[in-house]
Amino acid sequence: MIGRLNHIAIAVPDLDAATATYRDTLGGAVSQPLDQPDHGVTVVFVDLPNTRIELLHPLGDGSPIANFLERNPAGGIHHVCYEVADLIAARDRLSAEGARVLGDGKPRIGAHGNRVLFLHPKDFYGTLIELEEV
């Protein structure tokens, strides 16, 4: 059911510093920062040959990653995103298997304009999983 790794999202306390690390130390191809007010984050994309890293920084009040950074002040991997062909079919299969879908279970429009859902990290070995319909 799950397909390609779409991205790995890393929450960072200092977006400029993290961008410089990925650009200058790791030699990555980094984007300009992009504010995504609907998602409460500012994102820098790092394009890799086979996937993408997203550096996330809180934007505005009530950002979904603010609590994560309070618990992990140095930053950390926030979620991994797998592609699925049919998000509703994936959700229904996961629910039938006993996995918990976060929120009301209805897909939201994600950072790339595609439909997404998030799965409870306690059901997946401590990893928050995003499913994106591609």
Minimal distance, residue 130 CB to Co ion, in Å = 5
Q: For Co ion, give the closer residue by CB, 15 or 81.
A: 81
By CB under 5 A, the residues from 65 to 94 that bind Co ion are 81
User: Tokens at residue 27, please?
Assistant: 């030699």
Positive or negative, the CA dihedral 68, 86, 34, 47 is positive
DSSP state of 101: B
- Give the contacts of 11 (CB within 8 A, at least 6 positions apart): 56, 57, 65, 68, 69, 72, 75, 76, 77, 78
Minimal distance, residue 103 CB to Co ion, in Å = 14
Residue 127 to residues 30, 68, 117, Cα–Cα distance (Å): 25, 13, 14
Q: For Co ion, give the closer residue by CB, 63 or 130.
A: 130
Of 2-10, 18-26, 28-36, 96-104, the segment contacting Co ion by CB under 5 A is: 2-10
Q: Any catalytic annotation for residue 97?
A: no
Does the protein bind Co ion through residue 130 (CB under 5 A)? yes
Minimal distance, residue 54 CB to Co ion, in Å = 6
Residues forming contacts to Co ion in the complex (CB under 5 A) are 9, 81, 130
